[in-house]
Structure 1
């Protein structure tokens, strides 16, 4: 066993049970209990809860309730809608530690990352509250005398939000808090792997709504189940907008279903993110940024760094230091404050990682790490050492996204070659460059540079801030789930012309004269 791996003893026991954590939040799982969905912890494979799921008929009823709630909520002034979100943010802040522990127990990310995700929920609440007073349209110059041309933004309808296991709270909050201040109702279909986190956060929001006289019943609901629940949202004509985060395959299905009925899809899908390390880079900074981006959440982020493109002059020394630094990471129970890397979510994730490493070897790769780290008493937990894989080029497996801590090493000679490698994959979510050369930095950010939705300089590919639009291009889906002007995705635009004259001139000089008596 590596000296920095977790102890061979069983992982640290949960400090509080799921029931205790829900009790601290003032919530209960009683109404959700059943036998259809078993929730297990990736920390040790233990069963956390057994829950019921929602049938197709129940999904129809849920959408009907959400539609009724929307019809009332849209009439509430936007700043008053923001007050609901403000109160929710305060409640989340009050229970930050309990929510963080619940998230870690169910998801497996280390506590500091879980706390960061809960803080992200708090931050997006602050953002949405400010936004509730800034849902502005514009007045446009009319070509006709004594006419006013104006754009308005109005509430859209019901939001169906489908989230993945890796960020079981933040992704929902990004969309739902903004949709609420925009005047929409919301239904959340969380991953089957992390439903408890969903029930906790949505339960707190439902508590706040129940005490807020302007909030209608059923404004925010949770749908528990497998892909059939997501399909029901995607197909339902009364779900105006569907925001889906997950795999490219899932997004292709959801996007087609929503567009077939002329709904509005917001897709945030796969990422095969790259970092370019130039000869002028601050090497220590690049190493720190690379390691967290590649190993955070055990490589299970859509923004995880998966390809490292290093200039040939510094490749050998940089990779040697990288492998040594990754070897010092503490791998073990995410409940231990000293841990850097927790477990993969499940066996399927581990098997996918091993298939990718086998493919990399067959395509000429040299693999460092990647093996499973056994934990005594936890045969159903999948802890792994992050893998560094030196590749001869951007082969087929390198162009794929594997949701695990695998970092492929490539080399380049000229910056344009590095940019071509960065852009030479079907995904287009996040990218970065480490350089102290202003010309390289500017070129990377320009139209001639990265083709991703996120383009960073001297910072890793992961760790997006609230204010910037989050999302990517190509098979990443092109959606922007939150930040910047993404609120427009959750509203409908109306263009209005007002004639305050006694004549009726037509646009573009069209003549249509009538003698009206």
Structure 2
């Protein structure tokens, strides 16, 4: 199926020059400069955006604060109904928004549509959660007293998203924040602003039809020099949700922590697959190939390391290299369904990839496949590389880092599952992990307290991709935050303990006597 990008842009309301500030129901002209968004696929100009100034932000957060006073009083199920309708609107435009995500970010069209499906799924989840925001009734030690806990709306939530999931991560946060009674200010990646603008335009219809107060769903496109540290340091925002590198997360944690604000940090991953002698090797290979080359290695959950037992190492290595040979001719425009691997987001990412290939060899590693920049017909944008497999050791400095590109390191282990887990855990990051084994003891050890130290630990399921039903996030330098499903909604609310005395006496806790 050929994708007509011009028609897609028209369907989504993307103009040649687009405003970068929206309060949900209104768009505002800005005094900021104009920047352009180019596709990493073919280097073509997609559209331009007028960036916001700090004055624009001040106007927007004032609207957000006023909207919160109204929105927090709206019953949660009614807030959920708005999210339900947003999910329906996304369903109508799934192909168009998925195509724009693909064209602006570079992931294949199937993944672009999958990202929109994540948005739809979290809307469905949030609708149900809007009727299940609960607390707990406790037993008071005092006669005629009721002791209970409940959750209250928090306030303005700042959301900073990354280019690799330009719309889904916004939805993970916004759907839950909105049903919790919060309002949001979304600052999207400057590399993918048009996907954010298209999303904001899609939800505008729903917001108007439901008389949602202006200022509940806010978008602001601005340079980091304008809305970087100042945004993070704003005391009017009790919660900042930021997706980015570990280095960015440390900066965010420092600034927000200094003002005692709350954070959700979704940062770097150095995700490993363990393949034991009892593994279903065809299954492991199938899953791992997607984990390594899907989204051209630009997922926080992409597989970075494959830890293989020495008894099957040569077999797995040979089969993995053969699998890569099959995708060798499947690198190309992600809008063409015959291709499975698209471009990196920009030249900086290409340079980082090539530097990683060079460094692993300098440290003693061996390149088994790929590792070069692709040129020629179809690769004119200069953002395409051939996915790389390298033999390495876990202690190499480059292996200890996250390279946001399709390079994977094969690491051999001897001994038992504990030895493999020790290697897996011996990196600063702790996002996603998996173990391929048909041995129930190995499987249970892997997900036990003595097993993986990551926020996500899978058995016979790869590192990449997660259902929205479970809380998403990692440990160590991955940040420790949680988004999406399970009870992640609680972080968007303030926890409150209350006591009600419905008796005629006033006893103090712990039996304290204080008569005067």
TM category (shorter chain) comes to over 0.9
- Supply the distance in 2 between the matched residues of 1:342 and 1:31 (Cα, whole angstroms): 26
Q: Please name the residue that 1:16 is paired with.
A: 5
User: C-alpha offsets along residues 28-59 of structure 1, whole Å, 9 cap, x if unaligned?
Assistant: 56552885321110001111112111112211
User: C-alpha offsets along residues 221-251 of structure 1, whole Å, 9 cap, x if unaligned?
Assistant: 1111222324332111111211000011111
Q: Please name the residue that 2:155 is paired with.
A: 157
Q: Please name the residue that 1:221 is paired with.
A: 218
Q: Please name the residue that 2:110 is paired with.
A: 112
Match status 1:324 vs 2:296? no
Partner of residue 192 from structure 1, selected from 190, 193, 202: 190
> Is contact 1:22–1:29 with CA below 8 Å preserved after alignment?
no
Offset at residue 351 of structure 1 (A): 0.2
* Structure-2 change in CA distance of 1:377 and 1:268 (3 Å): closer
- Supply the distance in 2 between the matched residues of 1:472 and 1:111 (Cα, whole angstroms): 27
- Supply the distance in 2 between the matched residues of 1:377 and 1:77 (Cα, whole angstroms): 53
Q: Please name the residue that 1:494 is paired with.
A: 496
Offset at residue 24 of structure 1 (A): 1.4
- Supply the distance in 1 between the matched residues of 2:216 and 2:16 (Cα, whole angstroms): 20
Offset at residue 418 of structure 1 (A): 0.8
- Supply the distance in 1 between the matched residues of 2:185 and 2:158 (Cα, whole angstroms): 5
User: C-alpha offsets along residues 459-490 of structure 1, whole Å, 9 cap, x if unaligned?
Assistant: 10011101100000001000002211111111
Match status 1:427 vs 2:426? no
Q: More deviation in 232-241 or 458-467?
A: 232-241
Match status 1:32 vs 2:19? yes
- Supply the distance in 2 between the matched residues of 1:202 and 1:480 (Cα, whole angstroms): 24
Q: Please name the residue that 1:68 is paired with.
A: 66
Match status 1:400 vs 2:401? yes
Q: Please name the residue that 1:266 is paired with.
A: 264
> Is contact 1:366–1:390 with CA below 8 Å preserved after alignment?
yes
Q: More deviation in 22-31 or 256-265?
A: 22-31
Question: What RMSD over aligned residues (CA atoms) do the two structures have, in Å?
Answer: 1.5
Q: Please name the residue that 1:446 is paired with.
A: 448
Offset at residue 135 of structure 1 (A): 0.5
- Supply the distance in 2 between the matched residues of 1:134 and 1:293 (Cα, whole angstroms): 34
Q: Please name the residue that 1:363 is paired with.
A: 363
* Structure-2 change in CA distance of 1:28 and 1:67 (3 Å): farther
* Structure-2 change in CA distance of 1:212 and 1:22 (3 Å): farther
- Supply the distance in 2 between the matched residues of 1:46 and 1:27 (Cα, whole angstroms): 15
> Is contact 1:154–1:182 with CA below 8 Å preserved after alignment?
yes
- Supply the distance in 1 between the matched residues of 2:172 and 2:222 (Cα, whole angstroms): 22
Offset at residue 393 of structure 1 (A): 4.3
Look up the SS of the partner of 2:484 in the other structure.
coil
Offset at residue 22 of structure 1 (A): 3.8
The count of aligned residue pairs is 500
* Structure-2 change in CA distance of 1:375 and 1:35 (3 Å): farther
1:71-86 paired onto structure 2 within 5 Å: 71-86=69-84
> Is contact 1:59–1:232 with CA below 8 Å preserved after alignment?
no
Q: More deviation in 326-335 or 385-394?
A: 385-394
Q: Please name the residue that 1:3 is paired with.
A: none
Offset at residue 378 of structure 1 (A): 4.8
- Supply the distance in 2 between the matched residues of 1:393 and 1:261 (Cα, whole angstroms): 38
Offset at residue 376 of structure 1 (A): 2.2
Partner of residue 120 from structure 2, selected from 122, 128, 143: 122
> Is contact 1:394–1:410 with CA below 8 Å preserved after alignment?
no
Offset at residue 260 of structure 1 (A): 1.4
Q: Please name the residue that 1:8 is paired with.
A: none
* Structure-2 change in CA distance of 1:375 and 1:182 (3 Å): farther
Scaled by the length of structure 1, the TM-score of the pair is 0.94
Look up the SS of the partner of 1:383 in the other structure.
coil
Unpaired stretches in structure 2, ≥5 consecutive residues: 21-31
* Structure-2 change in CA distance of 1:380 and 1:35 (3 Å): farther
Moved over 3 A (4+): 25-31
Q: Please name the residue that 1:175 is paired with.
A: 173
Offset at residue 27 of structure 1 (A): 6.0
Look up the SS of the partner of 1:463 in the other structure.
coil
Q: More deviation in 407-416 or 370-379?
A: 370-379
Partner of residue 468 from structure 1, selected from 467, 470, 488: 470
Q: Please name the residue that 1:372 is paired with.
A: 373
- Supply the distance in 2 between the matched residues of 1:188 and 1:487 (Cα, whole angstroms): 18
Offset at residue 292 of structure 1 (A): 0.3
Scaled by the length of structure 2, the TM-score of the pair is 0.94
- Supply the distance in 1 between the matched residues of 2:36 and 2:10 (Cα, whole angstroms): 20
Offset at residue 377 of structure 1 (A): 6.4
- Supply the distance in 2 between the matched residues of 1:377 and 1:304 (Cα, whole angstroms): 25
> Is contact 1:40–1:49 with CA below 8 Å preserved after alignment?
yes
> Is contact 1:147–1:498 with CA below 8 Å preserved after alignment?
yes
- Supply the distance in 1 between the matched residues of 2:245 and 2:365 (Cα, whole angstroms): 25
Q: More deviation in 165-174 or 141-150?
A: 141-150
Q: More deviation in 248-257 or 376-385?
A: 376-385
Look up the SS of the partner of 1:123 in the other structure.
helix
